[in-house]
A and B are shown apart, each in its own frame.
Chain A
Amino acid sequence: MLKLHNLSKVYRTDEVETVALNSVNVEIASGEFVAIMGPSGCGKSTLLNIIGMLDSPSSGDYIFMEENVAGYNEAKLSNIRKQNIGFIFQSFNLIDELTVEENIELALLYHNIPASERRERVAHVMDKVGIAHRAKHMPSQLSGGQQQRVAVARAVVGDQAMILADEPTGNLDSAHGQEVMEMLQQLNEEGTTIVMVTHSPAHADYARRTINLFDGHVVTENLRAAE
């Protein structure tokens, strides 16, 4: 699916240079479920952002589906991103002015999909995450778990091959957290590649592989034994 080769990210201000990622080499295959862990400030989010093409590396290669996207401009990245990658955030990032249904549909609006098909797919994915009964509600009327389910639905409604989840359970209580994890696991079993940043070892256990980052380096990669 993707391969990072000697990838570095350096943030520069006038006086300070911060190395967020230092010669990272990571390979993620299609259909994998990878957890990224590490203490605050180790570069987890930067790594996820670069994988998600929301940020560009300072040096090194990023091969995404056989294509080196490291030097691509924003428009090109945006195009690859919308075809292939879905996002889930800790703070949900739903649009307050839109209903549940409309929030999910938004992911299809930028794909030139006819309205009838959009409705069908939104309905289907709402069923799948169990939020159909809240279709007409505004985000502010939902619980955190429900909001994150909407976010998951939004991430997958476009049939994205890969989902990037940044602490998807960080704002949720344990019961709701588990619910979301199970949903991700199910998606993974259906073939979606999942890359997740998390602090929770328990939730990292859902992944088949864990990458531990420390000060911008990959420290260890643990492969979970097949159960």
Chain B
Amino acid sequence: MFFNYFKTALRSLMRHKLFSSINILGLAMGLAAFILIILFVRNEFSWDSHWDRAEDIYRLENTYVRVGQPDRPTPNAVEPLKQVFFDTFQEVEAIARYIDGGVTLRHDGELFSQQVHFAEPGYLDFFGVDVLKGGFDAASVKLSDLAISERTAEKYFGDAPVLGQKLTLRIGGEFRDFYVSAIIADPEVHSVVQHDFVVPFNREYFAGARWFSEDWRFAYWQTYARFAPGTDMALIRAELPAIVDRFLPKNQQGQENGRNWSMTLGLVNIGDVHLYGNGTNAKPDVLYGFTGVAFLILLIAVVNFLNLSMARTAHRAREVAVRKVLGASRRQVVQQFLGESILLAFGALLLALTMVEIALPYYNEFLSSIIEMNLLGEPAMLGALVLLGVGVGVSAGSFQATYFAMLKPHDVLYSNTASDNGTSKLRQGLVVAQFSISVALMIIAFFVHKQTEFARQLDLGFTADNLIVLSGTNNERSNEIKQRLLESPFIEAVGRSSDVPTEGSEDRLHIRPVTGGDPVMLDGLPTGPDFFKVYEIPLLAGRYLTDAGADVLRDRVEDAEYASAANIVVNEMGAKLLGFETPDAAIGQQVSADLSSSLRVDATIVGVVEDFHFDSARDVIRPGIYYIDFIRNSDMSVRIDGNNRDAAIAAIEQAWHATYPDSILRYRTMDEMVERQYQTDDQLSNILAAFTLLAVLISCMGLYGLASFTAERRTKEIGIRKVLGARLADIVGLMLWQFSKPILIANLIAWPVAFYFLNDWLNGFAYRVELGVLPFLVMGAGALLIGWLTVAGHALAVARSNPINALKHD
């Protein structure tokens, strides 16, 4: 019996090759897209699930809070918290801590940059990292021991023996020798703990560093705590504020401009750190959006499958009627068609998996990700896919099966035409659903792209090209390297600042406006004198700051103090906020600025500059105040000659080595930093566009298949119309109109949905494109046009046919 079903099904498929391939291919494409998106999303959500007892491991994160200032989240925890945790929570089984830092490494006379974990004893045990060779036992490890991953060993030593070999690290200003005592397993790609290079923590290394305070002022420990199985984390979290209350010393002064501050503690499961931890770039919302798109595409594909299957029922009604007359029971009919549908779905699934396999390398390149599909190694995934296949098969087949089960044989057997089987309303409804999704996706993709382009072309207020940002120059040789750099003909200007554009400012200064009233808040940015020149930020009134006299708020000297009065520069918005009608009006005026609760400075405005972006384009430009503080000049921005870029970079390398012979030059380029701000949105835009295209394509395949069936079914009607005098254009118009209706209705559904979604999304941007009506209309018309092109072939073929043939069809 089964063989008979199989045979009939297969021959029926072969007889309608075009239809069958559209049906299977459409579903396969939808499934492939679904699998690809889900693989990516799942991959993002599955970081760090490989650790032993990952569900019990939490990262402790500190966020500094200060009234009137933005929160400062850190991925780290302060020194005292480890002991506090052990004392407070019996549930804490173990805590592993390390300081994550970049150092210069010397090997065979060559310098390398190496990311290092300065780890407390027990680090490897805590994470369960496999020691492949040698040993790194907490009990016997020496301070000069090193544990490095296999790939790191290969990088420095190739195939040569590694254990006992020397590597020299520059820590705290001096070179120290270390010896490899253990080779450990490579870290997983999708892990936040990249244990490539583990050095035993030694307090001595950091003793001189300003941030290395053992109190609560600086959080620098990556701190992971493992709780006893079954610990109620809600109870633990509820205790966290009390811990701060009890243990954070009262009225402790913060950094240089310390107001009263406090801190909040967070515990993030290690599996969530990648997406939700402090300092992450990941956007879980986007992932949820993608998941939504994945399901929509799957829906379109399933609807397609359903729709085409139903269209086909007309062709198979006779077969079913005969089977019924011959004694087939309802159950047998249901079995036959469900089985057939499931079989077809599995065929599509196999095809989809092949597509995914082929597409993965390109997909990975597109997303700059490393996604793999290893079905045999993942029974859960395999099971889910099988379930998906069965589900799609059952959902598509059940319509057909139910319809056939209810079919009255004599209705079919006594009519000679393939009847419309009563599902045409439903089919139209499904086409509407498909095109609603497609049109909505088209509109959304269009505006997402438009917004991305808009943000990219936004005037930043400064010139981002040909800017190189160096770090590691905030020291006594800062002026020396600046001089060396300026000697090169390829370097146009060098400026210093505490932060650079795209990074945002963390300082908020409170200043009372000249007009009186409550103090207003301005973003403060400690700079050097050449900052505006380097970033080419135009002056509106007054002058830029210099490096001498009253322009300097704090000089780089031993035990530096802030001056009680200094000249400052504000931006245009700042001047307005302070109550000045025009930039010129602000020049020479004095305001008192609170650098901190205890530090008030008499500031004289000597210059007003144009507004410029300091944060991402998602944020508004804020009022800003700029002053010279030579101690807080972490970043050095170098404007180079764009026509001689290589020479300029060589000159920077040269100046660096002459100034800092023992360390590696690390630099970023401003255009890349700006670009990176748009990267996620860009990626979103591209993925959305690609999958929208796919969705539209699948919808059209469905429409094409349907059109071919409708054309066939309506041949008689059209023959009669032609005999009665209808012209070619009338017939084509008739056919086109039949398919225009569902698309037009789909537009009416898609527009408000797309509008609602887009409005919400665009509200996240400070500078956004407007949602004009025209793109909606154009997309709607586009969908209609695509629909027409899809069915035009059939419409023409039917319209051109000889009416006699059509009528003899009976």
Chain A residues packing against B (C-beta within 8 Å): 45, 49, 52, 54-55, 74-75, 78-79, 81-83, 87, 89, 91, 93-98, 102, 105-107, 109-111, 154, 166
Contacts and interface: CB of A to CB of B under 8 A. Distances in A.
A95 B8 CA distance: 9
Contacts of A82: 326-327
A102 B329 contact: no
Interface string B444-486: 0000000000000000000000000000000000000000000
A160 to B, nearest CB: 10
Nearest to B410: A54
A96 B329 CA distance: 21
A74 B413 CA distance: 17
Given A45-B414, A91-B416, A106-B4, A97 B12 contact: yes
Contacts of B328: 78, 110
Contacts of B329: 75, 78-79, 110
Contact of A110 (B7, B321, B327, B330): B327
Nearest to B412: A93
Given A89-B413, A110-B332, 18 more contacts: A49-B410, A52-B325, A55-B410, A78-B324, A78-B328, A82-B326, A91-B416, A93-B321, A94-B322, A95-B319, A97-B11, A97-B15, A98-B7, A98-B11, A102-B7, A107-B326, A110-B326, A154-B326
B318 interface: yes
B1 interface: yes
Contacts of B325: 52, 54, 81, 87, 93
A45 B321 CA distance: 16
Interface centre among A45, A97, A98, A110 (most CB of B within 10 A): A97
Nearest to B320: A95
A109 B4 contact: yes
Contacts of A94: 322
B15 to A, nearest CB: 7
Interface string B325-343: 1111110100000000000
A59 B184 CA distance: 87
Contacts of A89: 413-414
A54 B408 contact: yes
Question: Which 3 residue pairs spanning A and B have beta carbons closest together?
Answer: A82-B327, A97-B11, A110-B327
Contacts of B409: 54
Nearest to B409: A54
A111 B327 contact: yes
A55 B408 CA distance: 8
B323 interface: yes
A222 B414 CA distance: 27
A93 B408 contact: no
Could you say which of A49, A79, A95, A166 has the most chain B C-beta atoms within 10 Å of its C-beta?
A95
A91 B12 CA distance: 20
Q: Is the interface of B mostly helix, strand, loop or mixed?
A: helix
Interface in B406-463: 408-410, 413-414, 416
12 contacts: A45-B410, A49-B410, A55-B410, A79-B329, A81-B325, A93-B318, A93-B321, A97-B15, A98-B11, A106-B326, A109-B326, A110-B328
B4 A93 contact: no
A93 B322 contact: yes
Contacts of A110: 323, 326-329, 332
B410 to A, nearest CB: 4
Contacts of A96: 15, 319
A96 B324 CA distance: 16
Interface string B775-789: 000000000000000
B408 to A, nearest CB: 7
A49 B325 CA distance: 11
Interface residues on B, range: 20 to 34
B581 to A, nearest CB: 80
Given A102-B4, A109-B4, A110-B326, A97 B319 contact: yes
Contacts of A52: 325
A149 to B, nearest CB: 16
Contact of A98 (B8, B324, B330, B413): B8
Nearest to A83: B327
Contacts of A81: 325, 327
A75 B332 CA distance: 11
B413 A95 contact: no
B283 to A, nearest CB: 52
A139 B63 CA distance: 80
B514 to A, nearest CB: 84
A78 B15 CA distance: 30
Interface string B380-423: 00000000000000000000000000001110011010000000
Contacts of A107: 326-327
Contact of A93 (B11, B330, B413): B413
Interface centre among B4, B8, B323, B326 (most CB of A within 10 A): B326
A47 B126 CA distance: 85
A106 B319 CA distance: 11
B332 A106 contact: no
Contacts of B332: 110
B323 A106 contact: yes
B327 A75 contact: no
Contacts of B11: 97-98
A166 B409 CA distance: 14
B203 to A, nearest CB: 83
A63 B720 CA distance: 45
Contacts of B318: 93, 95
A98 B318 CA distance: 13
Contacts of A79: 327, 329
A75 B330 contact: yes
A57 B5 CA distance: 33
Interface string B1-36: 100100110011001000000000000000000000
A106 B4 CA distance: 8
Contacts of A87: 325
Given A102-B7, A109-B4, A110-B332, A78 B413 contact: no
A45 B12 CA distance: 30
Contacts of A154: 326
Contacts of B1: 109
Q: Which of A75, A107, A109 has most B Cβ within 10 Å?
A: A109
A46 B330 CA distance: 23
B411 to A, nearest CB: 9
B7 to A, nearest CB: 7
Given A49-B410, A55-B410, A89-B413, A97 B326 contact: no
A89 B1 CA distance: 24
Contacts of A78: 324, 327-329
A87 B412 CA distance: 14
Contacts of B321: 93
B7 A97 contact: yes
Nearest to B1: A109
A113 B15 CA distance: 29
Nearest to A96: B15
B334 to A, nearest CB: 13
A95 B322 contact: yes
Nearest to A103: B322
B322 A106 contact: yes
A204 B180 CA distance: 106
B758 to A, nearest CB: 46
A109 B7 CA distance: 14
A83 B326 CA distance: 9
Contacts of B8: 95, 97-98
Contacts of B322: 93-95, 106
A21 B713 CA distance: 32
